[in-house]
Structure 1
Amino acid sequence: MSSAVLWVKAFHIVFVASWFAGLFYLPRLFVNLAQVPSDSHAERERLLLMARKLYRFSNLLMIVALVLGVVLWLGYGIGRGGGQYWLHAKLLLVVGVIGYHHVCRSLLRGFEQSANRRSERWYRVFNETSVLLFAAIVVLVVVKPF
């Protein structure tokens, strides 16, 4: 494996991990927002500001991670060839993570419009989804079970 592909792979891992860090923390902010009393405007606005900034930053991390992944796949042939079904499963999960990312944006809009109808408990469960997706993707990439 060439030095260039190793650099691309290393940066892909860094950006994927950073993107997921945002996806781990953003729903935690939603938990906090769901707990804010209706008369606590300053706290609500501070949490909304943090959530907006984190979403935008995570969006940039997602784009770079996806571009580097496409470079590895199409540019260096990672995952091409026979018996690479682990990659198909990983790509399916990546589509799920992108969907999760966009659901986070929709939930953030609900908070911005004071239209949240979900409990903090729901957001706690929702928060665990990203952990499960991350674990499944890592296992597929490292173990390549099929």
Structure 2
Amino acid sequence: MSDERQISASAGRKTKLRVAAALTAFACFAGLLYWIGPDETYLWIKALHIIAVISWMAGLLYMPRLFIYHTDAPAGSEQSETFKIMEWRLLKLIMNPAMMISWMLGLYLAWSVYGFSGGWLHAKILAVVFLTATHVYFSRAVRAFARDQNTRSARHWRLLNEVPTVLMIIIVILVVVKPF
């Protein structure tokens, strides 16, 4: 194994340990909130859900920008390799954990507060499913870029940069206005 791969494998293990530690800390914190009591727990869970959603959205809005710049970088160049690291870290350290936490806390709130009822809630969950599909699409693109196999143009990524924004607007309107 080359030195570069050993360093990369070592960094990957450290990253996985950091993510596991963060998720464990989050689970412990959630357990503590449950122990504190339901009245205060609801507000803490709601706050943590909003924080996780903001983190997830930040990643979903930034990732296509990285793809745009990465598309213009020659394969194998130092710049391309830097984008690969940036994309992988954004996905693994921010987007994936934030998405999982958003889903867990969001489903808990939908169940505990609304009993999964309400047309607005069903529409919101559908929009979040589309947001998750966008996340999965970006995840596959990160793997394609890592293999230097991106076949999409910068224009494609510019257009896809708008998808999370549109979905976010729909979701916020559904949650705040509750139109149906």
Would the TM-score normalized by the shorter structure come out above 0.5?
yes
TM-score (norm 2): 0.75
Report the CA distance between 1:108 and its aligned residue: 1.2
Q: 1:2 aligns with which of 19, 36, 39?
A: 39
Post-superposition, which runs of at least 4 consecutive aligned residues in structure 1 deviate over 4 A?
Answer: none
The one-letter amino acid paired with 1:61 is: A
TM (norm. structure 1) is 0.91
| 1:78 to partner: Cα distance | 2.7
Q: How does 1:121-132 map to 2 (within 5 A)?
A: 121-132=155-166
User: Alpha carbons of 1:87 and 1:43: their partners in 2 closer, same or farther (altered >3 Å)?
Assistant: same
Ranges in structure 1 where 5+ consecutive residues have no aligned partner? none
Q: Does 2:84 correspond to 1:48?
A: yes
**Pair 1:101-2:138 in alignment:** no
Map 1:3-82 → 2, pairs under 5 A: 3-38=40-75, 41-57=77-93, 58-74=95-111, 76-78=112-114, 80-81=116-117
Using CA pairs under 8 Å that are at least 6 residues apart, name the structure with larger relative contact order, 1 or 2. Answer: 1
- 2:136 maps to a residue whose letter is H
Aligned residues of 2:72 and 2:154 also touching (Cα < 8 A): yes
The aligned residue for residue 7 of structure 2 is: none
Task: Give structure 2 stretches of 5+ with no counterpart.
Answer: 1-37
Q: Is the 8 A contact 1:28 1:124 kept in 2?
A: yes
Instruction: Confirm or deny: 8 A CA contact 2:52 2:101 kept in the other structure.
Output: yes
The structure carrying a bigger helix percent of its residues is 2
What is the root-mean-square deviation of aligned Cα atoms in Å?
1.5
Identity fraction in percent: 39
Please say if 1:90 is aligned against 2:147: no
Higher radius of gyration, 1 or 2: 2
CA contact (8 A) 2:116 2:122 kept: no
Which letter maps to 2:159?
V
Q: What is the aligned length?
A: 142
Deviation at residue 11 of structure 1 after TM alignment:
1.0
